[in-house]
Amino acid sequence: MQLRFDAADTLVDLIAARGGPVPAVEAARALFALASAPAAIARSLLDEIVVGDARLAWHGAAVGAALPASSDVPLERASFVVFDLETTGLSAATCRIVEIGAQRVVALEAGATFETLVDPGASLPPAISALTGIGAAELRGAPGPDLALRRFLAFAGDAVLVAHNARFDMAFLDRAVERLTGRRVAAPVVDTVWLARRLLGARTRRFGLGALARFFGTSVEPCHRALADACATAEILLALVGLAQERGARTVADLVELSAPRARRLHSRRALVAAAPTTPGVYVFRDKHGQALYVGRARNLRARLRSYFSGDRQRPAVEAALGAVERIDWHEHGSELEAALEELRLLRALRPPANARSTRPDRHVYLRRRGGGWVCGGERTAYGPIASRSLARRAARALAGFAGDDLGAALPPLRARLLRLAREQRYEDAARLRDRIDALEQVACAVAELERLRGLRICILAPAREPGLVRAFFVAAGRVVDSRALPPGGGAALEIAAGLAAADAAVPSLAPEDADELLLVAATLRRRPPELRVVPLDAASIRSAVQGVAFAA
């Protein structure tokens, strides 16, 4: 049965990714990894899954979503059933329901109620009996689980289900419905805990049923009995619906979205990445207007994109992007290096708000001499680029009076002066000098690394996205000057010659965007993946490396 449920989840994701029904042949191919199958066979393979899951339905020869009719109903006309369960314990896998209570809310008015004890067919733990006041003798004459559940489902009909901490109650209800019918509950669910968290914010820090009942002043006091707790939850629901309408909620679907726990809100968007490939590439989160929110890269696009929707916390800016994302674009590349270079270019072009890295070239500065001192500015010199203007300013102050070319040479006398100031107990002066020395150390290391990288003349060979080709990156004159796909045979010689010509003709670059790419190349080579090969910039070395290495398509 679990395999069938997993297959149904996969179908739901596939339908959401397509934005509508999926032909049976395509669905069977995705689900069962079939190269091909006649339509009749595909339908027969899928039929048990579709018929057995209330979320799915046949749309002619295609399988699609069976959306609950209540999703688009305005809140003023919606029918809710607020319910609560008392159970023998906390685990839906091993414990049983002992009481069901519910109240109907129609057109934002409290209505009929439902209440039944349930004989769990097992002993009632003393702690549960003490908490609820339910005695074992009362349960012996109560309806069994199947009968009680059928009566509750008949009372609920196709109404929207509401519960306080719905994850707990729905776990028991889903388990019982699966045992009874082999299907899952398909009704929309509103969780008043998460709805209160979203709508009340800092107005209260306690969101338990009793705390919210006191906050809203409900006429029914929760007491760990199913009907009383359901009636109190119904009053809380009505108060929260009013707040939700002030936030712009108009339909049941809006309310369900507002009440969704963070994990479920993320889970509902997994369909955005259902078709993501397992290749390296870059991806862009976009909002409903198509605006880029976040840009990233991955060695495995599918694994990386799915990780965003696994429930793990992200940086606040990325969390905000996940909350607003409506579309995710991705572009496949042959290697992580190629994807990383493309990511840098997209960051500069799109400037997405959720990315922490600043990629605006106009914000980089360079150090240069002016008179007897040093200043920082936009004029390009060998002493930069430096991403932090404040760091560059502190380094420039540390260099006052220094006449050499090697910034590292200015550090020993500065450290000696710092020791002297400390011995003289001039602590404020020493603290200022210490900060300037720290800044100069960072800048000197960065400048020395860039100077080394600007002297590189190498070709990096990596897998290409195109089958049977090799991607060559030509690095010279302080930047990645060219990138070419090398075909097998004699065609590679022409591409290699063109890349070498571009390297020989390149003018040395001090541009910040080129420095970013150089630093990226250096970071990649420090943890060089096994598929990369690095050779000198000469035709024979490159041809030999290409011939000696077989790259996967």
Position with higher pLDDT, 127 vs 10: 127
12-49 residues labelled b (16+ CB within 10 A) or e (exposed):
bbbbbbbeebbbbbebbbbbeeeeebeeeebbebbeeb
* Residue range 449-466: mean pLDDT, rounded: 90
User: Contact 471/464 with Cβ under 8 angstroms?
Assistant: yes
Angle, in degrees to the nearest 10, between helices 252-259 and 226-246: 110
* Residue range 326-340: mean pLDDT, rounded: 91
pLDDT at 553: 39
pLDDT at 283: 94
pLDDT digits (tens, 9 = 90+) for 260-309: 766 556 666 777 787 888 899 999 999 888 899 899 999 999 888 888 87
pLDDT at 541: 87
pLDDT at 263: 58
- Could you tell me the pLDDT band of residue 36, with boundaries at 50, 70 and 90? low
Cα–Cα distance between 198 and 196 in angstroms, integer?
5
Average per-residue pLDDT in the chain? 85
* Residue range 84-107: mean pLDDT, rounded: 92
Cα–Cα distance between 44 and 31 in angstroms, integer?
13
pLDDT at 262: 61
Q: Which helix (DSSP H) or strand (DSSP E) does residue 86 occupy?
A: strand 79-87
* Residue range 421-437: mean pLDDT, rounded: 87
For residue 482, list its beta bridge partners.
474
Q: Which two tokens stand for residue 106?
A: 């129609």
Residue 170, classified by CB atoms within 10 Å of its CB into exposed (0-12), middle (13-18) or buried (19+), is buried
Cα–Cα distance between 49 and 340 in angstroms, integer?
41
Residue 202 CB partners (closer than 8 Å, separation 6+): none
Residue 62 CB partners (closer than 8 Å, separation 6+): 21, 22, 23, 24, 27
pLDDT at 530: 83
User: Contact 515/480 with Cβ under 8 angstroms?
Assistant: no
Residue 201 CB partners (closer than 8 Å, separation 6+): none
User: Contact 446/430 with Cβ under 8 angstroms?
Assistant: no
pLDDT at 378: 87
Terminal C-alpha separation, the chain: 38
- Rounded to 5 degrees, φ, ψ at 499 are -65, -40
For residue 80, list its beta bridge partners.
105, 160
Cα–Cα distance between 473 and 464 in angstroms, integer?
11
- Could you tell me the pLDDT band of residue 536, with boundaries at 50, 70 and 90? very high
- Could you tell me the pLDDT band of residue 20, with boundaries at 50, 70 and 90? low
Residue 296 three-state SS: strand
pLDDT digits (tens, 9 = 90+) for 67-78: 555 557 889 989
Cα–Cα distance between 524 and 544 in angstroms, integer?
22
Residue 189 CB partners (closer than 8 Å, separation 6+): 160, 161, 162, 163, 166, 170, 256, 259
pLDDT at 352 over 60: yes
CATH number of 272-350: 3.40.1440.10
Residue ranges covered by each domain of the chain:
2-66, 71-260, 272-350, 362-454, 458-548
pLDDT digits (tens, 9 = 90+) for 185-218: 777 889 999 899 889 877 888 999 999 999 999 9
- Could you tell me the pLDDT band of residue 6, with boundaries at 50, 70 and 90? low
Cα–Cα distance between 319 and 300 in angstroms, integer?
21
pLDDT at 39 over 90: no
Q: Which two tokens stand for residue 440?
A: 């100069």
- Could you tell me the pLDDT band of residue 359, with boundaries at 50, 70 and 90? low
Residue type, 1: M
- Could you tell me the pLDDT band of residue 551, with boundaries at 50, 70 and 90? very low
Cα–Cα distance between 150 and 121 in angstroms, integer?
17
* Residue range 398-402: mean pLDDT, rounded: 87
pLDDT digits (tens, 9 = 90+) for 101-134: 999 999 999 999 999 999 998 888 999 988 888 9
Cα–Cα distance between 211 and 225 in angstroms, integer?
16
- CA angle 215/218/219 to nearest 5° reads 150
Instruction: Write a three-state SS string for 134-196.
Output: CCHHHHHCCCCHHHHHHHHHHHHCCCEEEECCHHHHHHHHHHHHHHHHCCCCCCCEEEHHHHH
- For the question of whether the overall pTM of this predicted structure is more than 0.85, the answer is no
CA distances from 264 to 66, 194, 223, 430, 536 (A): 19, 11, 29, 54, 52
* Residue range 410-416: mean pLDDT, rounded: 89
* Residue range 44-60: mean pLDDT, rounded: 73
pLDDT at 16 over 70: no
CA distances from 464 to 73, 86, 279, 357 (A): 51, 60, 11, 27
CATH number of 71-260: 3.30.420.10
pLDDT at 227: 95
Half-sphere exposure of 228 (CA within 13 A, CB side): 12
- Could you tell me the pLDDT band of residue 154, with boundaries at 50, 70 and 90? very high
pLDDT at 1: 45
User: Contact 176/120 with Cβ under 8 angstroms?
Assistant: no
* Kind of pairing between the strands at 533-536 and 327-332: unpaired
Percent share of the chain, pLDDT over 70:
89
